[in-house]
Structure 1
Amino acid sequence: MSRRSLTLLVAGFLTLVLAVVGAVLPVPYVVLSPGPTENTIGDVKGKPVISISGRQTYPADGRLNLVTVAYQGGPGNRLDLITALRGWLDPTVAVVPEDSLFPRTSTAQQVEEENTQEMTDSQQFAIAAALSELKIPVQKTITVVSADKGAPADGRLKPGDEITAVDGSAVGEVDAVAAAVQRHTPGEQVRFTVKRGSATTDVTVGTDKGKDGKAVVGVRMRSAFRFPFPVNISVGDVGGPSAGLMFSLGIYDKLTPGSITGGKSVAGTGTVDPEGNVGPIGGIEQKMVGARNDGATVFLTPAENCADAVRSVPRGLRLVKVETLDGAIKALDALRTGSGDVPSCPAG
């Protein structure tokens, strides 16, 4: 065999080895790509994304699309080197370090559970924000999530309990419950009034000394809401909090005459809190690509994401800067009527 042939044979063999190694060698990165969109005033598999009963609703035209990011990699599904390299060459996707999205100690199950809880909270906040925008009263509640094992609350306060009062005084915020407990000296008892199913009962719980020396009962709580009529949101296998703004707009549109889109295809993203404040999200570049691919011409952009958005906005997509739910509604009204200011993301 000639030296040239031998060199080519060795080079080919090494290339094959590198290709095989690259196909199986895991790397600590995640590939983000444009995910599917869903019309919050439309249907998914024949079922409305938002369904409202016990209150008059109105037909809505156009589209109010929530946008998503698909990802490869993460806990339990490490990315291989070749997939990562392909991602670095594709301008529509991003390759980011795994630990920038997932804590090193997270398992795949923990990530899924966290995404599901964030979506649940996002939907609750979105409903509260939309109804508050419409001046429809919303009652905030405090719900027990869990009690720490071995803590005074263990076996006394149960998941799903709604705390309405502490020591006979009504409470409406999680912080108010904690403050009421901390007014006690460690070792004293605290009287909780809770709704458990259809019954209301008083539950007496002892206290321990916390790390800061203050009284604690060892209970985890979260804010929830009681709405005056049922509002259900169903989007299938979508997690995380970033669809909050679009849920709120979809609810608002269904509860008001006319159409806030004016028949346009509008997409957007952003978290929303119960007061209607819009917060930033991740994956803005991929979400814009997904929105434009699905026909959107307007993209509602959280103000804090504007700087990143303007650097990679797809052709034909207009960025509208939003800071609040009320501001988003007014911007869409200005777009529909052709009057008034439409806030835009500044061009750098």
Structure 2
Amino acid sequence: MEKNRVFNFRAQWPWVILLLIILAALLPLPYYMTQPGSAKVLEPIVDVENGDESKGVFMLTTVLVGKANVAEYIWAKASEYRDVFPKEQIRGTDETDEEYEARQLQLMQSSQDAARIVAFKAAGKEIEILHKGVLVTGVISGMPAAKKLVVGDLIIALNGEPIYTAEQLIQGLKKFSENDKVTLTVKNSDQKKEVELTLKPFPEKLVKNGDQNKFGIGITYPVTFTEVETDPTVKIDTNQIGGPSAGFMFTLEIYDQLTKEDWTKGYRIAGTGTMNIEGKIGPIGGIKQKVVAADNANADIFFAPVAASNYKHAKEAAKDINTEMKIVPVETFQDAIDFLKGLESKH
């Protein structure tokens, strides 16, 4: 009987090792993996009241982001168009899942607001811009704000002085030193309260070399909460797409529907880039992966931000995958319009 037991164990040990290998491969790591997402046609997503239709389409491009396991980490390292990043590069050090998702959705909302502002001004249409305060999208554990503020709070005053934008709050707090007390007026669900906080040093890992702003209350990623009222109205259904990188393409689609000219010229036009209210296009991450996504969607043209070498890397990816898609560099919304003005209509 004893010999049979030994024999059975030896017969099973390869399966035990295989099971351990599978479990190790699926073990989550403190990394995120990114890979090419999709190119989404914007016309069904963006609806300008009584907007004009076009023969072609504008498309936003996405990158898929998810927590990596061992197998995915190895896969990404062996792939040109998949990347892995330490968790801290994707999310704040102390950021919860709820805070990360809230921040991404708020950044998306901010990109929509900027898109409306730039497109309506360019089209000469009526628009009213109302800055309502600073939205809290995250707090740093161990800092004063962590005990008294929550995600979704809206800061509307600092020491009794109205606060309308994130920049105004940041500059206001820079006037104070360590251990100074400040009072914030905060709204949440129509309830208003006064919150007293004492400025404390930021954790060393969050202070950049040479940064003079070493003290604060511990709010991460403060965002200006803006209401934009337009005529005609604009509805944008992002279906839980987060982040600011679609801002530029939102702007093009809104402008295209606002004006009588068909700015697509019959082409399938993809692109990416953040948008600020001055019409400047900012860089994004995952540009090579977005080029792949656009090519998979049969795009004819891809707009790439010049900033942070986005255009350079987009050209490299286009050459590598041997696409016929034209890569066009843009620094401002007007750059894109100037290019489209000179573009011959597709027959």
TM-score normalized with structure 1 length: 0.70
Q: Is the 8 A contact 2:144 2:217 kept in 1?
A: no
How does 1:191-206 map onto structure 2 within 5 Å? none
47, 50, 64: which is aligned to 1:51? 47
Match of 1:98 in 2: 86
CA distance in 1, matches of 2:24, 2:195: 58
Match of 1:345 in 2: none
What is the RMSD computed on CA atoms of the aligned residues? 4.5
How does 1:73-222 map onto structure 2 within 5 Å? 74=67, 78-81=68-71, 83-91=72-80, 93-99=81-87, 100-135=89-124, 136-145=126-135, 159=153, 173-176=165-168, 210=199, 222=223
How far is 1:317 from its partner? 1.5
Tell me the alpha carbon deviations over residues 68-98 of structure 1, each in whole angstroms, 9 at most, x when there is no partner: 01123x3xxx5233x332333344x313133
- Evaluate the alpha carbon distance shift between residue 131 and residue 24 of structure 1 in structure 2; reply closer, same or farther with a 3 A threshold: same
Gaps of 5+ in 2: 1-10, 202-215
Q: Is the 8 A contact 1:29 1:95 kept in 2?
A: no
How far is 1:128 from its partner? 1.5
329, 339, 343: which is aligned to 1:331? 339
CA distance in 2, matches of 1:307, 1:126: 25
- Evaluate the alpha carbon distance shift between residue 219 and residue 16 of structure 1 in structure 2; reply closer, same or farther with a 3 A threshold: closer
Q: Secondary structure at the match of 1:124?
A: helix
Gaps of 5+ in 1: 1-8, 44-48, 198-202, 339-348
CA distance in 1, matches of 2:16, 2:174: 67
Q: Is the 8 A contact 1:277 1:325 kept in 2?
A: yes
Residue 283 (structure 1) aligned with residue 273 (structure 2):
no
How far is 1:233 from its partner? 0.7
Q: Secondary structure at the match of 1:227?
A: strand
283, 292, 295: which is aligned to 2:295? 292
Q: Secondary structure at the match of 1:262?
A: coil
Residue 65 (structure 1) aligned with residue 59 (structure 2):
yes
CA distance in 2, matches of 1:257, 1:111: 39
How does 1:302-317 map onto structure 2 within 5 Å? 302-304=305-307, 305-313=310-318, 314=321, 315-317=323-325
Q: Is the 8 A contact 2:144 2:198 kept in 1?
A: no
Q: Is the 8 A contact 1:278 1:325 kept in 2?
A: yes
Tell me the alpha carbon deviations over residues 134-160 of structure 1, each in whole angstroms, 9 at most, x when there is no partner: 2444424132536x9999xx89xx956
Match of 2:246 in 1: 243
How far is 1:278 from its partner? 0.4
Q: Secondary structure at the match of 1:51?
A: strand
CA distance in 2, matches of 1:181, 1:12: 63
Name the amino acid aligned to 1:33: Q
Residue 272 (structure 1) aligned with residue 275 (structure 2):
yes
CA distance in 1, matches of 2:228, 2:289: 34
